[in-house]
Amino acid sequence: MNKKRTVTIVDIAEAAAVSIATVSNVLNRRNVPMADETIRKVEKAAEELGYRRNAVAANLSRRKSNELGLIVPGFIGYYGRLAEEMERTAHQQRYHLSVFSAGGFDSEVEKRHLDALLQRRVDGLFCHGLAMSPDTTRKIVGEGTPLVLFNGWNWPQDIAVGAVNLDFAGGCVEMVKHLYDQGCRSLFYLSSGRAHAVNEQRVIGFKKGLIELAAPVISEVIELGLHDVQSIVSMTQEISGGLGPIGILAFDDLVALRFMSAVMEQGYHVPKDYKIAGINNDSVSSSCYPQLTTLDIPYNQQARLMIDLMLRQLGEPIDAGDIDVESGSLQPKPDEHELKIPLTLIPRMSTSQ
């Protein structure tokens, strides 16, 4: 019985009618100028011929895996949507992205992720500020793997090459002013302890926004874990003296919707008696009634900035020229450690008549 001959890049080059060098560039995901049609021809020929690339040998010879790692606290909501954007953006740059969940801050899961990342020799790592501890992450960095943080505030600067953070504080400042402009003279922030660093940025923005108002207002930060939403409605009525409309900024859209339901159950009206705003612009915020005012997160922009920052560190070519943050693809300057991405306020019926 004849042994099946191994398919080589020479075979692929002949089938695709391109040069051997072009096949090598495509299969090794080298970031060189190539037409999309050429790439498709090579990939199609490789698939039809049954070509199997020896990735381990290639990585050892090039000391590069073209694989990136992403660690998030979980896969729901923001984390899942950003992971999808990151995977799409990495693919466009001819990198594969492996995504790991922190597993609810389980130390054993964290250790397994660490071992897997070290064994797979990822070229670079992206880590959410809540996904792994600085000490564990430092072990990966100690192996020579560049790290880009996202939503990682107050981390030691020697761990990461940079941080790409959503400007929750700035967004909350803007939302406080919006509620004030809509006539609210008592403002409350519904705080969550489940994501401390992220919540802290919201509190900072809420308090800063209060300071910048034209006139003082009644205000308070209310911890959700200490009270149920029904009792919070009564608390806000008592603290505000029953004078409406009462302005509410919630930790996220889901908290805002829970509170809005409690408000309506007690016979109050939105936005007449309460003006309510959330954060994240989840899909439910535009499909509920009344539609929820919220802060939109630019997932594509954050993913692009993170990938660009990593490519710069890996010595890969990236788009030339400085690009403004507002345009969606800023190139970080070499001396910058943190890039802040502004959020967009989306006013809807929950805060305006």
Domain that holds residue 312: 65-166+299-343
Residue 238 resides in a domain: yes
What is the tens place of the pLDDT at every residue in 191-241? 987 778 889 999 999 999 999 999 999 999 999 888 889 999 999 999 999
Question: Is the domain of 223 the same as that of 325?
Answer: no
Question: Is the domain of 175 the same as that of 126?
Answer: no
The pLDDT value given to residue 232: 96
CB under 8 Å to 236, separation ≥6 — which residues? 186, 188, 222, 246, 248
Residue 78 resides in a domain: yes
CA distance 326 to 249: 25
Question: Is the domain of 95 the same as that of 182?
Answer: no
Question: Is the domain of 131 the same as that of 182?
Answer: no
The pLDDT value given to residue 155: 79
Question: Is the domain of 147 the same as that of 223?
Answer: no
Total tally of structural domains belonging to the chain: 3
Cα separations in angstroms, 84 against 111, 203, 229: 24, 28, 33
Q: pTM for the complete prediction?
A: 0.76
The pLDDT value given to residue 42: 87
Question: Is the domain of 106 the same as that of 136?
Answer: yes
Question: Is the domain of 293 the same as that of 205?
Answer: yes
What is the tens place of the pLDDT at every residue in 261-278? 999 999 999 999 999 999
Q: Is the pLDDT of residue 117 over 90?
A: no
Question: Is the domain of 323 the same as that of 283?
Answer: no
Token pair listed for 178: 């919006």
Question: Is the domain of 186 the same as that of 281?
Answer: yes
Residue 352 resides in a domain: no
The H or E element that residue 165 is part of is strand 162-166
Residue 348 resides in a domain: no
Using alpha carbons, select from 45, 99, 103, 110 the residue that is nearest to residue 68: 99
The size of the chain, in residues, is 353
Residue 315 pLDDT class (50, 70, 90 cuts) = confident
Using alpha carbons, select from 348, 303, 352, 340 the residue that is nearest to residue 170: 340
Question: Is the domain of 312 the same as that of 208?
Answer: no
Question: Is the domain of 173 the same as that of 287?
Answer: yes
Residue 350 resides in a domain: no
What is the tens place of the pLDDT at every residue in 89-104? 999 888 989 888 876 5
CATH of the domain at 238: 3.40.50.2300
Using alpha carbons, select from 247, 252, 250, 228 the residue that is nearest to residue 236: 247
Cα separations in angstroms, 182 against 26, 148, 185, 218, 347: 56, 39, 9, 15, 11
